[in-house]
Structure 1
């Protein structure tokens, strides 16, 4: 289930093979369409809840209402079934897409629009075991952070175009080690399925906590589903 980016998408996969997927681009309509889309996708894939082992759902950051709708639907499903939730941040989905698209990439910048000239940003270094916290920063700060990176880097997310346009006004030449991937400004539930399978196949840890992810004051902040 993917509802973070102001749209609504559902996909079902068998391992990494997507059996069926549906996508609705109408903004802020997740509450109206999600349940019907789940039923439709299950019919297309010819599965029941008893056939499903895991449910992957995005937790943001992104559309406040959309995130809560997706997590609430996931909570309802797992409450009445034996399905195990896999809760994935949108940063992780973008990181996965960058890694899939750019061979040999060293650094991923995942950039999500926070509006008012601010962005949510998380940096991933594929050659380091250290982790970087997600931050809420001004768009100009994001540009400087990207420009200061010398490694082969990929940038993706729905704020990528804004950052690119700002970068063009900042420097006369775009560094040849930085690649912008505008095609991943928006994505559906298919890469969410594939990422979840990758986590399971490689026996990596994952979250099962159905809570929205917010980023504020340069730090992660989790809010309970029943919160405001």
Structure 2
């Protein structure tokens, strides 16, 4: 089972190819807002390094945001072009889910995950995940101070990750004299590449969980989110 992973949400560009959960090749470009220029070449380069063709690829996992909206559309448009002329099955993954996956891998026994993405102007995109519950929390666009209060009110073992984590931590330090010992911040996951996207896609497939195939960016506004659908059939 070979998976092509594309991640363009973090104002950067990354491509990876995995065979089941093992990454065969990966490339990452950190130049901001250059996804349109580099993505196609990076896909070709990564496929050459992994010694595969499009006929060998079974699934294409791509991030849908939120994040760099232009970059997200570049990634989704590339995915649309690939699956239109092939039999590759798309797996569309929110960046919240990628961060949840990374937090779960990093913190043993974690109960709550906060995926926090910078929306600028002192606002963040936030989604809370409870690993002990089947219910889900809606992704929201909120003030950074409101996010701090939400995190402080959580008593379970919690992990926070995303490119707004540093801002939230600094605000939290000014709010309380002592950081609660049940809250862990993971600054190393402020940015990530396509490798965990491939691994998460494989986990969804291996565990027979449902996943989205709709190539549409995740747009969050006014405490709600919308999917803008790109037709490919």
- TM value normalised by structure 1: 0.98
- Deviation of residue 170 (structure 1)? 0.3
| Alignment RMSD (CA, Å) | 1.7
- Partner Cα distance (1:28, 1:200) in 2: 31
CA–CA distance in structure 2, aligned partners of residues 22 and 99 of structure 1: 24
Q: CA deviation at 1:198?
A: 0.1
**Distance apart, 1:227 and its partner CA:** 14
Residue deviations 1:144-174, cap 9 Å, x none?
0000000000000000000000000000000
> Any gaps of 5 or more consecutive residues in structure 1?
none
Match of 1:19 among 20, 24, 33: 24
Structure 2 gap segments, 5+ residues each: 1-5
SS in 2 for 1:210: coil
Kindly indicate whether the alpha-carbon contact (under 8 Å) linking 2:84 and 2:232 is maintained by their aligned counterparts in 1. no
1:62 to 67, 73, 81: 67
DSSP 3-state at the match of 2:17: strand
Structure 2 partner of 1:158: 163
Which whole-Å CA distance do the structure 1 matches of 2:155 and 2:162 have between them? 20
Deviation by residue 1:180-228 (Cα, 9 ceiling, x = unmatched):
0000000000000000000000000000000000111111111234899
Distance in 1, Cα, partners of 2:209 & 2:232: 29
Q: What is the CA–CA distance in structure 1 between the aligned matches of 2:171 and 2:228, rounded to whole Å? A: 32
Aligned counterpart for 2:204 among listed residues 193, 199, 205: 199
Q: Is the contact made by 2:126 and 2:141 (CA closer than 8 Å) also made in structure 1? A: yes
Query: 1: distance between equivalents of 2:178 and 2:204?
Result: 38
Q: 1:108 to 1:226 in 2, by over 3 A?
A: same
Q: Is the 8 A contact 1:68 1:225 kept in 2?
A: no
User: TM-score when scaled to structure 2?
Assistant: 0.96
**Structure 2 Cα separation of the partners of residues 176 and 56 of structure 1:** 35
1:24-54 per-residue CA deviation (whole Å, 9 max, x = no partner) reads 0000000000000000000000000000000
Q: Is the 8 A contact 2:93 2:212 kept in 1?
A: yes
Contact kept in structure 1, 2:25 and 2:46, CA below 8 Å: yes
Count of equivalent residues: 228
